[in-house]
């Protein structure tokens, strides 16, 4: 192929989970979860990080036996530069082929052209390859295939092309990855949380499944926020359909509680009472019963117990107490932090901030419902653990999940909402509900750092009306952020927030409120997004609808809190 005399850099991808906060300067972090209508992995490949590697490009990688990465590019000639490295193991031999395909074509479509064959990445050696490719338009599909039982690995991809070439949209129906300006949101945005919440609830009712579940896939944590949104909307509007659907889902949750008080992290669709002893043992061996996921849905159960009546109310409270007393409480450590419970065959080894946060919220809510001080004390200790090492620059000090990046506590960028929304809600809920006044001050002080630090939330927002994210899973959770802006506006004066600080938060809150109330804008976060018909799955992690039910639930609780401040914390 004859090269262009002048070529520019079209894209630079660093393959990693964007939630790790590993930023290679000049590269776009991209992992297995859908993040843009312009490029994506259509296979659920594995993300990997290597200890002891300082260069962020070399630290992270995608690794698997097979994987197909697609990029939207105009027809033309391109130079691909790939980086391969693993300090700990050899990979290969593997092959790389390319095909020009329609964006929605099944994996393996088109006529593949060999770019690299028999690649071997020696342990501890950096391998870089440059290849030329002619693309006829649409999606450029890059297929990595391990030979036999071998795996492939890829750390980074750079694409050079003509000066006229730009990344192209592959899926016009997908939410755009471009944010509007603040001026446009102010001018054209709606400021009507009542209408927005009603729309969200009606949409959620339509997602109630014939098998009795409401969520994404079968994960209970994705049901938590839709349920809480429906319950809050019932309390605001008095619409019985909202509560009926929420309680039908929660009835199934309660029926699936294990004899230990635990819940599995996925909806089984079969009551525990129907299981034989061998089946119970199989469930315990095969399923996660982790606090991070389950805590969030038990919080929804406790919240709903205030809205239901009679025998159902007693059953919900009893199930929540059984979970807290006989299962979750045992995982709180002397520090106040929680480990993550049971992980399909073994107990979690490490403290985990998200498990601590969802437990803090659940115990705080249960303490408010039962008036039993022991639950508030568990929540207090958990919140103190979460806030004690918060950085003045805004970044929370995170204890990651067992074996997750970076394998030790670290200061996490504030835009990693996949962890931090749970942490913020845990400390906010406990602070609002705690009978100890100083706990609220400690929680609000952490929130103040998070908002105003040099690397804090308001700095990360910049001149945009919302916070940019590299994947839909993270974006979906950001829909809850107005709750914490609103809380600081209400309570910030208690810790001496200045008028300037309150004005900055108010400005950000009003813009985020309009953004969330306006479907044209909130669609970008996955809210009320229709499930697409894709060969690799409409609600898989490789789709813009991967977290749409959860995203809509997060937005729902934020909107309910706008209408009736404090409702999501049972005030």
Report how far residue 2's alpha carbon sits from residue 233's, in angstroms, rounded to the nearest whole number: 63
Q: Give the model's pLDDT for residue 288.
A: 97
| Closest-CA residue to 296 (of 347, 223, 237) | 223
For residue 513, give the nearest of 492, 477, 483, 488 by alpha carbon.
Answer: 483
Tokens 């297995």 map to which residue? Answer: 32
Q: Could you tell me which of 364, 406, 414 has the C-alpha nearest to residue 390?
A: 414
Q: Crossing angle, helix 417-433 and helix 373-387, to 10 degrees?
A: 140
Transcribe 284-299 into DSSP letters: HHHSEEEHHHHHHHHH
Compute the distance between CA of residue 304 and CA of residue 288 in angstroms, rounded to an integer.
Answer: 24
Please, are residues 55 and 139 in contact by the beta-carbon 8 Å criterion?
no
Instruction: Give me the pLDDT at residue 45, please.
Output: 97
Model confidence, pTM:
0.96
SS3 state at 385: helix
User: Could you tell me if 145 and 114 are in contact, meaning their C-beta atoms sit under 8 angstroms apart?
Assistant: no
Quote the pLDDT of residue 214.
97
Q: Give the model's pLDDT for residue 5.
A: 52
Helix (H) or strand (E) holding 506: helix 499-517
Residues of the chain below pLDDT 70: 1-5
Question: Do 262 and 190 form a contact (C-beta atoms < 8 A)?
Answer: no
pLDDT for position 2? 44
pLDDT at 296: 97
DSSP state of 388: T
Q: What is the pLDDT of residue 500?
A: 97
* DSSP string over 168-234: --S-TTSPPS-PPPHHHHHHH----HHHHHHHHHHHHHHT--TTS--SSTTBTHHHHHHHHHHHHHH
pLDDT of residue 424: 98
């Amino acid at each position: 192929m004859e090269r262009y005399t002048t070529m520019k850099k079209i894209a630079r991808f660093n393959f990693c989970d964007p939630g790790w906060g590993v930023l290679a300067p000049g590269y776009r972090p991209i992992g297995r979860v859908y993040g843009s209508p312009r490029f994506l992995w259509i296979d659920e490949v594995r993300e990997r990080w290597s200890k002891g590697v300082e260069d962020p490009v070399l630290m992270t990688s995608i690794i698997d036996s097979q994987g197909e990465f697609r990029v939207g590019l105009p027809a033309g000639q391109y130079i691909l530069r790939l980086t391969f490295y693993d300090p700990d193991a050899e990979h290969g031999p593997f092959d790389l082929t390319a095909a020009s395909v329609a964006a929605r074509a099944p994996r393996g479509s088109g006529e593949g052209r060999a770019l690299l064959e028999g690649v071997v990445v020696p342990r501890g050696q950096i391998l870089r390859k440059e290849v030329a490719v002619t693309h006829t338009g649409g999606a450029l599909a890059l297929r990595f295939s391990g030979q036999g039982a071998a795996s492939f690995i890829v750390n980074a991809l750079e694409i050079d092309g003509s000066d006229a070439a730009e990344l192209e949209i592959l899926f016009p129906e997908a939410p755009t990855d471009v944010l509007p300006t603040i001026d446009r949101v102010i001018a054209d945005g709606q400021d009507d949380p009542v209408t927005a919440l009603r729309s969200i609830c009606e949409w959620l009712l339509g997602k109630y499944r014939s098998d009795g579940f409401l969520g994404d896939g079968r994960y209970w944590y994705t049901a938590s926020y839709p349920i809480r949104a429906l319950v809050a909307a019932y309390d605001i509007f008095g619409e019985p359909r909202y509560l009926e659907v929420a309680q039908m889902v929660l009835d199934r949750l309660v029926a699936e509680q294990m004899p230990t008080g635990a819940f599995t992290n996925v909806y089984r669709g079969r009551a525990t009472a129907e299981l034989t002893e061998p089946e119970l043992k199989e469930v315990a061996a095969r399923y996660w019963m982790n606090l991070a996921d389950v805590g969030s849905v038990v919080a929804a159960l406790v919240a709903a117990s205030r809205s239901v009546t009679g025998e159902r109310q007693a059953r919900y409270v009893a199930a929540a107490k059984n979970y807290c007393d006989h299962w979750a409480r045992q995982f709180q450590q002397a520090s106040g932090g929680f480990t993550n419970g049971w992980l399909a065959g073994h107990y979690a080894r490490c403290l985990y901030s998200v498990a601590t946060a969802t437990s803090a919220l659940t115990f705080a809510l249960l303490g408010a419902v039962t008036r039993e001080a022991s639950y508030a004390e568990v929540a207090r200790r958990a919140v103190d653990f979460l806030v004690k090492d918060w950085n003045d620059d805004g970044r929370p000090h995170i204890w990651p999940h067992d074996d997750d990046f970076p394998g030790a506590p670290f200061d996490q960028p504030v835009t990693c909402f996949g962890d931090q929304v749970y942490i913020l809600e845990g400390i906010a809920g406990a602070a609002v509900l705690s009978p100890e006044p100083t706990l609220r001050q400690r929680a609000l002080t952490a929130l103040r750092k998070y908002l105003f630090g040099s690397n804090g939330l308001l700095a990360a927002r910049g001149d945009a009306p919302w916070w940019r994210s590299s994947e839909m899973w993270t974006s979906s959770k950001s829909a809850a952020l107005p709750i914490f802006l609103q809380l600081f506006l209400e309570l910030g004066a208690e810790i001496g927030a200045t008028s300037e600080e309150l004005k900055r938060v108010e400005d950000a809150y009003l813009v985020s409120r309009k953004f969330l109330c306006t479907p044209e804008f909130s669609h970008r976060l996955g809210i009320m997004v229709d499930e697409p018909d894709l060969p690799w799955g409409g609600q898989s992690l490789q789709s813009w609808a991967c977290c749409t039910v959860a995203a809509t639930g997060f937005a729902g609780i934020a909107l309910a809190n706008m209408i009736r401040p404090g409702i999501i914390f049972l005030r």
